[in-house]
């Protein structure tokens, strides 16, 4: 049935395309509060979910992921907390699943100011999915903070902390660009970049106090410059495909971090921002990055600081 501009766009009174476009609701804004959705929220096509005010908390009282992206989905999640997903024998307990085996690698996920907390699986599982994450935290998830594969991704100004599983941040298959990341107190590796594609970049990140190696590099010619990698149980770096280069990085195999002058490296809440006197201050080699974890401008003072923080 051909619609007209005078009809209300309902199923039985369809309207013209011109009018339908004027009525299109494209974005969902969610007010503060707790939202327990019984089952996984499945997103297709373009969907933006944006929290307003204090991060709304999205949970799933059933087993399974809290959010799942279908093939072709193009999703932006902003200012939300994704918490407490649980697994069953057949369902993963991930916060967000952006993957499906055997389907086209055509999903994209943008994360801004998100918190993935205490999910029994991975905070974000991104296979067959391009991910761009900034200003987000991945804490205390049972199988890792974030796991990415297959497609290229960018991670900036994110925290991966206290996650169990293999790594705070694990990447494989795609080219990743990781900047201004704090990775600490993860049960095993802080950041694991396994991709065999050249061009991976991990820079200006602080990787400290992880239970495995601080940084694992699998790709040939990986650039890991201007990072602080210190006091990790299994050593600072594992280089699977030598030579690996760490230009400008402070790489320490020991347990003494006193010269780094972190705010609170030994007592909770842990804080690895820099304080005056740190050897990391103004010590970075040539770079172009213009901001730090907090969004503060780089450089400040005589040069850029090594690690995720530019001391203020």
Partner 1 sequence: MNMRSIILVVALGVFGCTKHNPDSCCSTTQECSSLGIDQITGCDSGKACNGMGTCIAAQCATSADCTSVGLPVCSSQLCVATCATDNECVGIAVRPLCAPDGVYVGCIDDASCGASAPVCDTTGRACRRCSEDIECASNVCIDATGTCATVDEVIHVSTFGGDGNDGSVSAPYRTLAFALTKVTA
295 is an interface residue for partner 1 by CB under 8 A: no
Alpha carbon of 178 to those of 165, 205, 285, 304: distances in Å?
Answer: 20, 8, 17, 17
22 is an interface residue for partner 1 by CB under 8 A: yes
Binding test (CB under 8 A) with partner 1, winner from 5, 8, 18, 34: 34
Which are the contacts of 266, defined by CB distance < 8 A and separation ≥ 6?
Answer: none
Could you give the CA distance from residue 290 to residue 179 in angstroms, rounded to a whole number?
A: 11
276 is an interface residue for partner 1 by CB under 8 A: no
1 is an interface residue for partner 1 by CB under 8 A: no
**In the complex, minimum distance from the CB of residue 299 to partner 1, in angstroms, rounded to a whole number:** 21
Polymer length in residues for the chain: 312
41 is an interface residue for partner 1 by CB under 8 A: yes
Residue with tokens 């373009």: 46
Could you give the CA distance from residue 17 to residue 145 in angstroms, rounded to a whole number?
A: 43
Span 52-91, contacts to partner 1 by CB under 8 A = 52, 58, 78-79
Question: Which segment (20-28, 199-207, 218-226, 247-255) binds partner 1 by CB under 8 A?
Answer: 20-28
Question: Which segment (17-25, 146-154, 211-219, 280-288) binds partner 1 by CB under 8 A?
Answer: 17-25
**Residue 28 or 285: which CB sits closer to partner 1?**
28
114 is an interface residue for partner 1 by CB under 8 A: no
| Chain Cα centroid distance, residue 200 | 16
Could you give the CA distance from residue 174 to residue 129 in angstroms, rounded to a whole number?
A: 10
196 is an interface residue for partner 1 by CB under 8 A: no
**Count of CA atoms in the C-beta half-sphere (13 A) of 155:** 33
270: which DSSP letter? P
43 is an interface residue for partner 1 by CB under 8 A: yes
H-state helical runs in the chain? 17-23
**Residue 37 or 255: which CB sits closer to partner 1?**
37
**Residue 19 or 197: which CB sits closer to partner 1?**
19
> Where does this chain bind partner 1 (CB under 8 A)?
20, 22-35, 37, 39, 41, 43, 45-50, 52, 58, 78-79
């Amino acid at each position: 049935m051909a619609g007209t501009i005078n009809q209300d766009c309902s199923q039985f009174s369809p309207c013209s395309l011109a009018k339908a476009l004027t009525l299109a609701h494209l974005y969902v804004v969610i007010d503060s509060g707790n939202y327990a959705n019984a089952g996984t929220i499945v997103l297709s096509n373009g969907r933006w979910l944006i929290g307003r005010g204090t991060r709304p908390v999205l949970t799933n009282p059933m087993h399974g992921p809290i959010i799942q992206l279908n093939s072709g989905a193009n999703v932006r999640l902003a200012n939300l907390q994704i918490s407490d997903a649980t697994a069953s024998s057949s369902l993963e307990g991930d916060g967000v699943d952006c993957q499906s085996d055997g389907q086209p690698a055509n999903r994209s996920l943008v994360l801004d100011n998100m918190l993935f907390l205490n999910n029994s699986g991975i905070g974000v599982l991104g296979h067959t999915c391009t991910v761009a994450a900034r200003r987000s935290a991945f804490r205390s998830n049972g199988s890792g903070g974030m796991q990415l594969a297959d497609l290229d991704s960018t991670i900036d100004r994110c925290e991966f902390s206290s996650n169990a599983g293999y790594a705070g941040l694990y990447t494989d298959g795609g080219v990743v660009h990781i900047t201004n990341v704090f990775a600490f107190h993860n049960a095993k590796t802080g950041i694991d970049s396994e991709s065999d594609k050249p061009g991976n970049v991990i820079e200006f990140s602080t990787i400290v106090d992880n239970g495995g190696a601080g940084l694992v590099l699998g790709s040939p010619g990986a650039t890991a410059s201007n990072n602080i990698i210190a006091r990790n149980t299994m050593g600072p770096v594992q280089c699977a495909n030598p030579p690996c280069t760490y230009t400008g990085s402070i790489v320490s195999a020991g347990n003494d971090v006193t010269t780094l002058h972190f705010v609170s490296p030994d007592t909770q809440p842990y804080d690895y921002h820099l304080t005056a006197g740190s050897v990391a201050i103004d010590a970075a080699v040539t770079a172009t990055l213009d901001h730090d974890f907090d969004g503060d401008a780089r450089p400040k003072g005589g040069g850029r600081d090594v690690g995720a923080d530019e001391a203020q």
